[in-house]
Amino acid sequence: MPDALAEDECGDVRVTPEPVTPDWVKHAVFYQIFPDRFARSGRLPKPTNLEPWDGDPTPRGYKGGDLLGVVERLDYLQDLGVTALSFNPIFQSASNHRYHTHDYERVDPLLGGDAAFDTLLAECHRRGIRVVLDGVFNHASRGFFQFNDVLENGAASPWLDWWLNVGGHPINAYDHTRPPGYTAWADLHALPKFNTDNPQVREFLMRIAEHWIRKGIDGWRLDVAAEITTPGFWQEFRQRVKAINPEACIVAEIWHDSRPWLQGDQFDAVMNYLFTEAAIAFAAGHRVVRETVVGRSYAPWPGIDAPGYAAKIDHLLGLYPWPIQLAQLNLLDSHDTSRFLTIAGGDAASVRLGNLLMFTFPGAPCVYYGDEIGLTGALPDHWARKPFPWDDPDRWDTELLTFFKELIALRRAHPALRVGAYHRLVAEGGVYAFARTLDDTSLVVAVNAADDEATVEVPLSRPPTAPVTLFAMGGSLGYAGTATGLALTLPGRSGIVLDVSPVPGTGLTGALPPGGDRP
């Protein structure tokens, strides 16, 4: 794709180089693992005070999942079609989610320690599976050494200026009826915020990032990245990480318009919650349970129709350069949200429709562990972090699992779905259709999210001589050539992917809806 054109302050046209993003991410299928709840290996000794694996999760309790448990389930993940693993934090911490970091250089002993991580990384790489870790660099914990020293020594601590706005001594770190005696993330006493304006703090965090890249990880997912506002921090972070591994992925947790961070000098991508919001609202529609989505920085409720979805997607595709779009981490739920199946009131068709949209959209799709077998869970957080029921196959939705395998295989089989151009074709009522094109390949994706059957005209330059159905869900779908393209008949709550690749010299019409052609 050519460099972008822009005007400088004098009005002269200048060439702005396109951002460079890791090529492997554009072709990846991610799977997010919450380590305490995914799998527990019998090869690791455990403390005795663990919650039963099959019992209800609690906010503070541990289930004892570990990294060797992940190793033992890699056959399952490969069979599913996964090519990259995104982990919630794995470093030593006094919390089951491990966002309260004690030691950034040690893997938590309950996860198996550094030895288990080395085994995991080696086995993943042997199988061609990438590994991305969660970097919590905005804040630490009360157990982090430099903060613990402040708790012990007060104003005499040499680490006082590692933290922001430390008040009188002793500082209030535990009495939740009073504000913390320092700046803490979300005013949570357990999460003191780093003073990243301090050069020592900044260097410490940069070296942690470099350390694990040198160990061989394939990238960082950066927790609450927008909270770090020190000028130049993320630019330096990118430079130092990419100097070690230019193909390392840097993806940030930012829920909103992220243009300030996605200009090619900081992050490769963000967690694409703007897509999440649109896809859930369209695929689930009136089924979205409002109570499951309140209190988070996205708004899937109320539902939207196809024109509403088209407006959101056109806006999203206009925000960032195309190399950024292809590297975005697309998701429908995560450890920070209710699970999509629960958001949709238990409607499996919504899950299928939403995932069909995600797996055919530009950017890397990410499956939250257990979604593929129909795990449920709503806010508060611990209910969306249930253990994977390995030993209870009766709880598995095997039809949904088969659907995920087929959908992942579809994406992996067709480069046009990964890096092809995106053309919006139809947005009428409950029907949204688009095409992904690459070289001589043209694939049409159509979704009817409404309850009733609909027939729509898909504009093509000429009727395809022999369209091929690559993927279909939701009943008996029909299509027929017309003078101007293709007439699709879609039952309610259905979707289809067609190969309409033309003979040489033909293709999609240029008369596409305004703003519907990317790039």
**pLDDT at 505 > cutoff 60:** no
Residues 231-290 have pLDDT tens digits of: 999 999 999 999 999 999 999 999 999 999 999 999 999 999 999 999 999 999 999 999
Report d(CA 117, CA 100) in Å as an integer.
Answer: 19
Q: Does 503 fall in a domain?
A: yes
Point out the domain boundary residue: 189, 205, 227.
Answer: 189
Do the Cβ atoms of 269 and 328 come closer than 8 Å?
yes
Residues 315-333 have pLDDT tens digits of: 999 999 999 999 999 999 9
Q: Does 493 fall in a domain?
A: yes
Q: Does 349 fall in a domain?
A: no
Active site residues: 223, 253
- Calculate the alpha carbon distances from 306 to 190, 208, 276, 498 in Å: 44, 45, 15, 19
Which band of pLDDT confidence, cut at 50, 70 and 90, is reported for residue 483? Answer: confident
Q: Does 154 fall in a domain?
A: yes
Point out the domain boundary residue: 189, 224, 247.
Answer: 189
Q: What is the pLDDT of residue 509?
A: 40
302-88-109 Cα angle (round to 5): 150
State the total domains in the chain.
2
- End-to-end, the C-alpha distance of the chain in Å comes to 8
Do the Cβ atoms of 164 and 182 come closer than 8 Å?
yes
- Calculate the alpha carbon distances from 134 to 35, 266, 374, 499 in Å: 11, 16, 25, 38
- Which residue segment(s) compose the domain that 167 sits in? 139-189
Residues 151-209 have pLDDT tens digits of: 999 999 999 999 999 988 899 999 999 999 999 999 999 999 999 999 999 999 999 99
Q: Does 481 fall in a domain?
A: yes
Q: Does 449 fall in a domain?
A: yes
pTM: 0.94
**HSE (side-chain half, CA atoms, 13 Å) at 260:** 11
Q: Does 207 fall in a domain?
A: no
Report d(CA 399, CA 187) in Å as an integer.
Answer: 44
| CATH classification at residue 147 | 3.90.400
Provide the 8-state DSSP code for 98. Answer: -
| CATH classification at residue 490 | 2.60.40.1180
pLDDT mean over 291-315: 96
Point out the domain boundary residue: 189, 222, 250.
Answer: 189
Q: Does 119 fall in a domain?
A: no
Which band of pLDDT confidence, cut at 50, 70 and 90, is reported for residue 476? Answer: confident
Which band of pLDDT confidence, cut at 50, 70 and 90, is reported for residue 478? Answer: confident
The helix or strand, by DSSP H or E, that contains position 146, with its residue range, turns out to be helix 145-153
